[in-house]
Amino acid sequence: MHKTQQPVTHHACRSYASLHRHDHRSALRQPTRRPGSRTRKPAIITAAGANQKPLVVVGSVNADMMLQVDRFPKPGETLSAKAMTTSAGGKGANQAAAAASLGYPTYFLGQVGTDANSQLLKDSLTKCGVDLSYLREIEGPSGTAMIMVDPSGENIIMIVGGANQSKWKFSESDHKLGSSAGVTVVLDCGGADADVDPELLKHLTIISPNESELANLTDMPTESKEQVEAAARSVQGKGVDIVLAKLGTKGSMLIQKDKILNQGILKADKVVDTTGAGDCFTGAVAVGILEGMSYQEAMKFAAAASSLCVGKPGAMPSLPDRASVDGLLKQQ
């Protein structure tokens, strides 16, 4: 795969991406106008790698309403927030913005509403360098996320799908689009409230859950690395080649059929907000693979990007640029 870099695909509410490495086949050299996701599914990234063919991300975009709190409320309890800000987010949008911020040509396929937040979302993605030629506008509200963040940077998130859930069409032939073209297809499992379609699993190259998502996907424990590996093997038995598990403060773990790679975190100077760290990691991994890095190199590159990401508030506003990531890697 590293000799002929091909597209990848991610899902974002889960993020689905195809790499021209989040577009693997010739049919994906130019993005189609039909978003490739179903209601409340992950974000998809596709890309083909050679000659910097564009990375294409299909997934959700939300207006993130962030509440700064001293602690999370208990059931039935009312607390005052210290502040509230609104910024762009959503798993697909974050991953596309992360890749574009790192200097890779990136398209985003998604849907916004016709409400006051719509322009904020479009402006934020454009500012990061994302091409919105295939973004659709749907009558009604845009997706919205309510996020509570405590002083340690931990968060609790509730999502209202809005335009993300409206009139998505994703057929079985779409599932096969990347894999049949020889494109690397990556599925980020974050944000989904439904099981991953078994038919989709057969056409993925990489699936990227965090620990809890992997546990939900397999009904297996994932508290230790041994348990993560066992759960990953279960997923591979359903047809996925590679499982890239995001393990929070324990770093990341890539499980191939014949090899396991581990990458620790690059410790951040400070942790302000972890909201977009996983999306930043996924987008950066996609960029690394597209640029011809080995999986281990791409994981370290992504670890550096996510380390910088947690040092600022907000999902999209915290995404680092390429110079910052390269600079941190030189210090290691």
Q: How many whole angstroms separate alpha carbon 183 and alpha carbon 98? A: 21
Give the integer Cα–Cα distance in Å for 7 and 27: 11
Catalytic site residue 279?
yes
| Contacts (Cβ under 8 Å, ≥6 apart) of 12 | 37, 42, 43, 44, 57, 58, 59, 60, 90, 91, 92, 93, 94, 95, 110, 188, 190, 191, 279
- Beta-sheet pairing, 252-255 with 260-263: antiparallel
Q: Which two tokens stand for residue 171?
A: 């057929």
Which H, E and C letters describe 51-90, residue by residue?
Answer: HHCCEEEEECCEEEEEEECCCCCCCCCCCCCCEEEEEEEC
Give the number of C-alpha atoms closer than 13 A to the C-alpha of residue 63, restricted to the C-beta side. 22
The active-site residue, picked from 64, 174, 273, 279, is 279
Residues belonging to the active site: 279
